[in-house]
Chain A
Amino acid sequence: MKIDWERYVPPGINHKKEREWIIAGLVISLICSMGFLLSYIENYRALFWELDGEKGIIKGALMPDFVGLLNSRLYGFPVLALCMVAVFLYHYLYHYQGSKSIYLMKRLPDRFELWRRCLTLPLAAALLSMVIAAALMLLYFGIYMYFTPDVCLTPNQWEKTGSVLLGVAL
């Protein structure tokens, strides 16, 4: 399905450039989030002893909590979502730049046209950003639970993650 973005941004705005910036933001956030994997690998290795080719789990070694490893590595996505507030404001104020095209938008028979054109792209980007953040968190959690030896896991990982996320959200 190809979206005609021209119909969902203020007329004359460079939506290709905006989409490029949003994609760049998502890629940077993704790269930042990969710090989790580096941190996980480092901590995973620290669980084992290795001597003359033999390998074993260090007695009493524990993997740090998932939420501790994740730390602020997914923050790029909510930050990008917050930046979309600025994009929305830019879209709205665009109607005052060089002319007062806001007068035309307010005279259109479709009352939602102005808001559709101001909101769609930033809202879609914010939602996409949060969905990717959630998907990555699930993926990283899966990696954490799958690869970490059971004896090194502390209990209630999901609950701990949930309570931290909820704490941040609240």
Chain B
Amino acid sequence: MIELKNVSKSYHGKQALKEVSLCLPRGEIVGLFGENGAGKTTFMKCLLSFLPYEGEILLDGEKITRKNITKLSFATSEHSFFPQLTAAAHKDFYQMHFPNFSEKRFDGLMEFFSLPQNKLLAGFSMGQKNQFEVILALCQGADYVLMDEPFAGNDIFNREDFYKVLTGILEPGETVILSTHLLEEVQNFISRAVLIHHGSIVGDVSMNELEENGKNLMGFVKETYHYRADRVSKALSDLTGDEEREEF
């Protein structure tokens, strides 16, 4: 279980996370949603100890150190692989450093996505790079897989394939925390949705709960964010002056 207790983080006086408290048990696929700059990436970077923060983060009851960091893996749209290495060389590197690295899963996913083993990552297309980034995160042998906008730049077919593969290969104890804007795409495959707004958790709901209440994820998000449905039509009429024209 990942536990965040009153975690705060500020950049140059501006608060990116405000006293975030959250429990993420094993075996869940958690969607992390929020507008750009809401604090999703900061949340993940604090979890990974890339950034100093106030508060406490526990991983299976212990502070996150180099001893237990291998329980976490990370896939980011910024990519964390080495562009000047081949996929095969990455496999060697991961095997050297991560004792639970799953070679079988790696080879299977590489084959499924038809990614070349002996081509430099720099020569991969953006879609292939994203796929490879996620493959590495899934094969590291981590209990908690953190994904930050992993499919930015992938086409819809590609993403759909990935959701199916992901749900198919995950072990019961594996947890995925997925930060994305693609709400409607992931709503059928996540088990829980966490909403961040201006650095605070403003919504936390299980998909079962939503279903029981006859709501969908988009509705929940709009409700939580107090989305004004008339916003677009009002802006358009302001811009085009339709109302005035109607009066004449």
Interface set of A (CB-CB < 8 Å, partner B): 10-13, 97-104, 106-111, 113
With a CB–CB cut-off of 8 A, which chain B residues contact A97? Answer: 83
B106 to A: closest C-beta gap in Å: 15
Write out the residue numbers on chain B whose beta carbons fall within 8 Å of the beta carbon of A108. Answer: 66, 69, 97
How many residues of B sit at the interface, in one of the four size bands? 20 to 34
CA distance A111 to B76 in the complex (A): 21
B76 touches A101 (CB 8 A): no
Partner of A107, one of B48, B82, B83, B121: B48
Which residue from A10, A100, A106, A109 sits with its C-beta under 8 Å from B76? A100
- Cβ-based interface call for B208 (8 A): no
Q: State whether A103 touches B97 (Cβ < 8 A).
A: no
Which 5 pairs between the two chains have the least Cβ-Cβ distance?
Answer: A12-B84, A98-B83, A99-B79, A103-B80, A12-B85
Assembly CA distance A98 to B124 (angstroms):
12
* 10 further contact pairs, Cβ within 8 A, besides A13-B84, A99-B78, A103-B76: A11-B82, A11-B89, A12-B120, A99-B79, A101-B82, A103-B50, A107-B73, A109-B66, A109-B70, A113-B97
A99: contacting residue among B72, B73, B80, B98, CB under 8 A = B80
Tell whether A107 pairs with B69 under 8 Å between CB atoms, given A11-B93, A99-B78. yes
CB-based contact B67/A99 at 8 Å: no
A99/B81 in contact, CB under 8 A: yes
Q: Is the CB of A100 within 8 A of B93?
A: no
B76/A12 in contact, CB under 8 A: no
CA A109 to CA B49, docked complex, whole Å: 13
Q: Which of B74, B93, B122 contacts A103 (CB 8 A)?
A: B74
A106 to B69, CA, bound (A): 9
Give the docked Cα–Cα distance between A108 and B101 (Å). 13
Chain A residues within 8 Å of B50, by CB? 103, 106
Nearest CB of chain B from residue A102's CB, rounded to whole Å: 8
Interface contact A12-B97, CB-CB below 8 Å: no
Shortest beta-carbon distance from B74 to chain A in Å: 6
